Chain A
Amino acid sequence: MIYEIRITANSPTDSKGQELLAEIKRTLGIKSIKNIRSSKVYRLEGISFSDAQKFSQAVLFEPINQQMSFNKPIFSSFDKKIEVAYKPGVMNPEVGSLLKAASDLKIKLTAADTSTEYAFWGKVKDKDLSIITNRLLVNETVEQVVKKPPKTLMISGQKGKVEKIPVRNLSDSQLMELSKDRLFLNRQEMKIIKNYFAKISRDPTDCEIEVLAQTWSEHCVHKTFKAKLIVDGKVKKPLIDRIRQTANYNKKLIISAFVDNSGVIDFYDGWAISGKVETHNSPSAIEPYGGAMTGSGGVFRDVLGTGKGAKIIASTDIFCFAPPDLPSKSIPPGCLPPDYILRKVVAGVRDYGNRVGIPTNNGSVHFHPDFRAKCTVGVGSYGLIPKKIAKKQFPKVGDLIVTIGGRTGRDGIHGATFSSGEMTDRTITVLGSAVQIGNAIEEKRMIDAVYDLRDQGLIRAITDCGAGGFSSAIGEMGQKIGARVFLEKAPLKYSGLSPWEIFISESQERMVLAIDPQNLKKAVQICQLHNVEATVIGKFDGSKRLRVTFDKKPVCDLEMQFLHHGLPQRVMKTTRNKQQPVLDRVETRSGETRNKKLPPLPKKADDWQEIFEKVLSHGNVCSKEPIVRMYDHNVQGTNALHPFSGVNLDGPNDGTIVRPILKKPYGVVITHGLNPTLNLIDPYGGSIWAIVEAVSNFISCGGDIKNAALIDNFIWPFPDEESLFDLDQSVDACSDMARLLKMPFISGKDSLSSTYRYPSGKILKIPPVLLISVFGKIPDVRKTVSSDFKSEGSTIVLVGKPDFKNLGGSTYFDVLGTKDPEIPKIDLKSLTKVFGSVTKGITQGQILSCHDISEGGLAAALAEMCFGGNCGTEVDLSSVVTQTDTPGVKSGRHHEDTPGVNLRPDFILFSETAGTFLVEVENPQIAKKLFTGIPYAIFGKTVADKTISVFSGSKNLCNLDLDKLKNAWQKPMREIFH
């Protein structure tokens, strides 16, 4: 018997219902519905009638503002009603709490579930209801409409058997059939597997095949990055080597690079800090809420699984989507609408990060129509760890394999292999099980337990169960010594899983620990204190094999050598003269269609106001404050530079600074940079831009490049010849910039599956993204700045050498529809000096505020500094004409006589040259002292009146109304997150 309890608000409306109503009107344009109410449905099974009533009163129902119905409907006289629940087998995080509360009340309750019921009033056509259901309420991957109440909530099933896969007899085409949609291995790799088993004269088990596919997946092994690369007929160093050799720069800072779950650098007083950035594109594209949650969860565990366990101190989120107003006919089959993805991804990050208590205090959102088939979701996480346990740790022979945290279920099977494949219209249906809903509290208590285990010295080695599950975690930990696993000991969410499913399941919130047997008892006690399940499932046995059994039946028995080194180095070729595949780009590659026609110059003052507002309201420039305010960016109390500051706390800052040890003034500065649009036009130049932008953000907060490290994320289309060439260029940009700046990369990840294949076979390449993250240490957070203008009458200085001639890929050109392949050129000669001067000016307290110039150009940077300062400015564009590399040159010569001839005022205002800054200083003398020897211009001054007045010499070009600009800048995201 299942008891049904429904709870709804006492008032005639509730926020969930109203939100849905608004969404239906806004997104679907359906206006005939008058009201929607929602009710939470609880189902309780294995409980007595009186206990069910008692439980409802004590736990579920709060009469102050709610009404309840017991075993009967709660709404009457509605026109339509639907109920939405998680599918059976998808873990509903709330159920654990219900069972706990029942147990605390000494009530017997066997199973429970929750769902949501929506009642509609007004004219609701069946057709509309089905659109509402499909587009707004139900993600079929994890949810369903409840048509008939379930007969039982208990999931059971037959225990799966171990099957043999007769690969030795399969033809090439049969091998590929086996690989498709499941293993994602290529013909050569399948043949290596076939040959290996032929050699040892037996067929593999299903588990062995799965373990090999997971271990050899692009996601886990980075075949392209490790490949022998032949570019234009010449052998080049593998991509991964080019990146990793940068770890030779600034060696004394680095504690561990590219060997552990995150990169680690030195901090102060015997502490170290670590950083990791992951992408979670494929899951987020098909189930954005769950995908974003598990993305956050995974990257938190990466930091937790560093050394002997690092404390997670900050999180970052970087998204790329198609513009929210993309017409629905442009959305490829099997893909979700971009505004839905945006809202759901944000909700996922919010609900996971907030609950785990990690401040999400840095991030950005970018838009380009070509993200319509697959979004890019980058999630970063940063940690603090005692230096003496910060290096990667290894198990010893005899150590126990202990799994802690969540139980294993069927969820998340094939995540590693699936995220390595391209996306098609079938991805959502075939691979739905690769996505799951995260349980943040499971993760939080596990994190608490790990901190305690670490502090008591009970951990020998630790790693997270991410992609590839036990297979990956145990396989990697035991790589050198071998592991023996008794799979029947693994705690399961429900029965009925096949052994291979248990072994490769990517159920979230699990860590694998190597624990010395003599520490086991104490470790288990600590886990119990935190309500965390800890189970010994095997040991590291010295056999140099990966041996897995289930109830004594053999499941897997592979040599570690073959598993980890059986895959030969790929040879990949690419040439500059590439064969273009059939492209479906909304934006054609502008290099091929150069439109030399430049836009007309804005003439009237009104034109200027209009174009400023257009640029400021562009998705890549507009304020993201509504998103940031939903993230708990202030938990842990460590922020020393908040995402927003200024008179009205709405001026955006370039990065975040946290003070992870509250008693100390030491800071960790975290920033990032990317520009998919520029990467698309010019992979090398766009990558340089992304790196310089990331570092500029870091400098702009007060960081020093001598104390910082870089993290790379390549989110790239499937590496066909063309994309591989672009990737090679981008990697060269990374290695060139690291050399120039003497900054090491210490962690990174590539995800080479940003390709979508239409049913017709036509291909859509998602814009390549090089996401660069920077983190570093500063000795005193009090010697840093924010971007808001601090006072009236200050001097505004433009520092660095902008390229006022090339605006290809800029927001300004995008707004005007102008194509140009010439992206801004960054002056690499002066860059290091520019960085050094800004750092010095900030550290010495002479720079009052600083903002780097990026999307939206100088205009956007200036406007944002004014928004923060709630003040205006007077700027003189002619000042930049006199800017030279020669120290101290400042003249009033007329433009035509100077090298800056014919500089267009709109180009000056909207050029997006990374590596240039606007800084506020008290007076021009300070600027002269600070910046002599590098390119700079005294650009203007701050004024009380909330107007941006633009002059060119004595000529007044325009006077822009700051409040109107701010409204344009804030409106787009306010409308999406109303």
Chain B
Amino acid sequence: MIKPKICILRTDGTNCDEELFYAFEKFGAAPEMVHVNQLRGKSKKLSSFQILALPGGFSYGDDVASGKILAVELISFLKNELQEFISKKGLILGICNGFQTLVRTGLLPFNNFGQMDVTLAGNDSGRFECRWVTIKTGDSKCLFVNGSDELIRIAVNHGEGKFYAEPKTIQKVEDESLVVFRYVDESGQPTQTYPQNPNGSQNAIAGICDPTGRILGLMPHPEKFVDITQYPNWRREKITKPHGAFIFEEMIKFAQQN
């Protein structure tokens, strides 16, 4: 089967690109590092990829707000390419800073390019949080990730991850089944309790998709748990399959079949 081509989009301050590259490669895709300047200068074309992946990091230092300057850049220079990519059924994955960027372009949650509907605000704790949490996948419009009762251990590493919006916007996100991942407690229930919910996200929202189900963004880092030894407790818990793997497997499978 043909390996889907993945555009790992980098810019000044991107820093989770290598582990994301590794995750896609491990599960059978053909990732390529692409600097945003290469798309701007047209030496690389978004249309030659099946998946656009925005890694974590601090794009442009997260100055003004996390992902903001990159979002302004994407809106200013790559609007047409991105819209064409989406209309031709490309898939987009934004992790952490990538998610923040997608939200600030308006692509998530409602695919309103250029208009921001929700925000990822500063963590309630007021600080950067580097810890492991548990999330669960709900039933959503996401085309490649299915709801499940499995508890997923996953890393969060961010200072601005609080999913926040007006109540009616949150309601719309829920009504349209756009919530893909929620922070949960040990019993699997969505939680507002710190640090299980590490940032105070409303409705414990950790990740969402757009109404087409092709754009997925999440704060936690599935790419940091695709090998067993990446998990802090691999020595005491018998892990048969790394918990972050399914997102890449499913996404790649979907890209291959569609």
Interface, chain A (partner B; CB < 8 A): 15-16, 18-19, 58-60, 62, 64-65, 93-94, 96-98, 100-101, 104-106, 350, 354-357, 439-441, 444-445, 448, 528-531, 628-640, 642, 644-647, 649, 659, 662-663, 665, 781-782, 785-786, 788, 790, 977
Contacts and interface: CB of A to CB of B under 8 A. Distances in A.
Interface string B39-83: 000000000000000001110111111001100110011000000
B61 A93 contact: yes
Interface stretch (B126-134, B135-143, B172-180, B205-213): B126-134
Dominant secondary structure of chain B at its interface with chain A: mixed
B9 interface: no
A104 B77 contact: yes
A115 B220 CA distance: 31
Interface stretch (B85-93, B144-152, B229-237, B246-254): B229-237
B119 A441 contact: no
B227 interface: yes
A97 B72 CA distance: 11
A630 B127 contact: yes
Contact of B76 (A105, A350, A440, A529): A105
A531 B119 contact: no
A59 B72 contact: yes
Contacts of B127: 630, 977
B119 to A, nearest CB: 5
A357 B16 contact: yes
A852 B227 CA distance: 28
Contacts of A635: 15-16, 56, 157
Given A15-B122, A97-B64, A634-B157, A530 B35 contact: yes
Given A101-B69, A634-B157, A662-B22, A62 B119 contact: yes
18 contacts: A19-B126, A62-B116, A94-B61, A97-B61, A105-B72, A354-B157, A355-B62, A439-B61, A528-B37, A630-B130, A637-B18, A640-B230, A645-B233, A645-B235, A649-B132, A649-B232, A665-B229, A790-B235
Nearest to B237: A647
Nearest to A641: B232
Interface in B203-244: 221, 223-224, 226-227, 229-230, 232-233, 235-236
A694 to B, nearest CB: 23
Nearest to B162: A65
Nearest to B62: A355
Nearest to B117: A64
B236 A637 contact: no
B128 A630 contact: yes
A101 B33 CA distance: 23
Contacts, number: 166
A788 B236 contact: yes
B76 to A, nearest CB: 4
B245 interface: no
Residue from B19, B61, B132 with most neighbouring chain A CB atoms (10 Å): B61
Given A15-B122, A659-B229, A100 B69 contact: yes
Contacts of A62: 65, 116, 119
B130 A634 contact: yes
Residue from A101, A350, A530 with most neighbouring chain B CB atoms (10 Å): A101
A662 B227 contact: yes
Contacts of A663: 22
B131 A98 contact: no
A637 B224 contact: yes
A97 B63 contact: yes
B229 A640 contact: yes
B205 to A, nearest CB: 14
The 9 closest A-B pairs by CB, nearest first: A357-B15, A637-B19, A97-B63, A642-B232, A441-B61, A15-B126, A445-B12, A637-B224, A355-B58
Given A15-B124, A355-B13, A637-B226, 6 more contacts: A64-B119, A105-B72, A354-B157, A441-B58, A445-B13, A634-B157
B86 to A, nearest CB: 21
Contacts of B61: 93-94, 97, 355, 439-441
A423 to B, nearest CB: 30
Nearest to A628: B130
Contacts of B164: 64-65
Contacts of A529: 35, 37-38
A98 B224 CA distance: 32
Given A65-B121, A444-B12, A786-B235, A104 B72 contact: yes
Nearest to A358: B15
Contact of B12 (A98, A528, A530): A530
B184 interface: no
Contacts of A634: 130, 155, 157, 221, 224
Nearest to B19: A637
A59 B157 contact: no
Nearest to B22: A662
Interface in B1-47: 10, 12-16, 18-19, 22, 35, 37-38
B18 A662 contact: yes
Contacts of B56: 635
Contacts of A98: 63-64
Nearest to B153: A649
Contacts of B62: 355
B230 A354 contact: no
A356 B15 contact: yes
B60 A645 contact: no
Nearest to B223: A637
Contacts of A350: 128
Residue from B124, B131, B166 with most neighbouring chain A CB atoms (10 Å): B131
A444 B235 CA distance: 33
Nearest to A868: B236
Contacts of B16: 357, 635-637
A107 B221 CA distance: 36
A827 to B, nearest CB: 30
B130 A629 contact: yes
A389 B137 CA distance: 46
A792 to B, nearest CB: 12
Contacts of B223: 637
B122 A636 contact: no
A782 B229 contact: yes
Residue from B58, B64, B132 with most neighbouring chain A CB atoms (10 Å): B64
A638 B231 CA distance: 10
A977 B129 CA distance: 12
Contacts of B65: 62
A440 B13 CA distance: 8
A789 to B, nearest CB: 9
Contacts of A94: 61, 63-64
B130 A646 contact: no
B19 A636 contact: yes
A319 B17 CA distance: 31
A448 B119 CA distance: 29
A785 B22 CA distance: 25
A217 B62 CA distance: 38
A538 to B, nearest CB: 27
Given A445-B13, A645-B235, A662-B227, A97 B128 contact: no
Nearest to A447: B15
Contact of B230 (A65, A104, A637): A637
Nearest to B169: A64
B22 A64 contact: no
Contacts of B157: 354, 632, 634-635
Contacts of B122: 15
Nearest to A643: B232
Contacts of B155: 634
Contacts of A781: 229
